[in-house]
Structure 1
Amino acid sequence: MENFGEDRDPLNKDVKFDEKPVSVDFQRLIELTDSEKGQSHLQCLVKHWEYKRGSSIQVLEEELDLLCQQRKEIEQRIVQKRQQILERRRIHDESCDTMKGRLPVLDGGKITQSHDQELKTDAEHDSISYWKERAMQ
């Protein structure tokens, strides 16, 4: 589809509007509508206008429904993304808390857990001491 500038309307390229004020000859209008032919034309014009109006309303309602559906889908995606972010943050926080509780921390030459609890059994202490010495070597 072509890109038109703001000042160029593709629908009005062949239509020219006169800027002169329009005057209506009400006498002639009454004569036209008083005849059978004039009334027929007027009824046809009214039916055509009603059809166009109904068609326009239907198109607008369809567009409104489509936009509402798109808005709901976007809102659902936003909610899902927020839930994913919150879940990732929760998992990350839990894993950090878990790691803090399990990892030994070197504190003034003495090995303790992050909750400042000394290791309870000699076997664990010996094992950690062994690996500490290996790491230093």
Structure 2
Amino acid sequence: MQEKRTRFYAEEDSQTTVGELRAAVDRFVDARDWTQYHTPKHLAMSIAIEAAEIMEHFQWYTAEESIARLNDTDEKAQVADELADVLIYCLSFANGADIDVSAAIRAKLARNETRFPINEVRGKLGHEI
């Protein structure tokens, strides 16, 4: 059985707002005149492609091995780079679609609280629910 991992939130994450990240992505895209290419279709595809690149780092490993791989500094940096690509595309999608990311996440978590009551799902895997 997997031991419970300690949660921590990186210092920079606790000091940076979603709005600041959205603005940084917007400036980056705008400076390169890429807004014209950042359509919902292209951004959704890019999100999926970059997410698949994260999956490649864990593809042929067991669950335990995949966790252990993140103990390797170089591997973790590569995964972080791919995760950044996913998040950048997500924020660019939100910018173009005028979606309030914080509101969307809070609303989804609230719906999931109802869909997945703690007393019914705690410790259960998806197919067991």
After TM superposition, the score normalised by the length of structure 1 is 0.26
Q: Which one has the largest radius of gyration?
A: 1
Of Structure 1 and Structure 2, the greater strand share is in 1
TM-score if structure 2 supplies the norm length? 0.27
Question: Comparing both chains, which one has the higher relative contact order based on Cα–Cα distances under 8 Å and sequence gaps of 6 or more?
Answer: 2
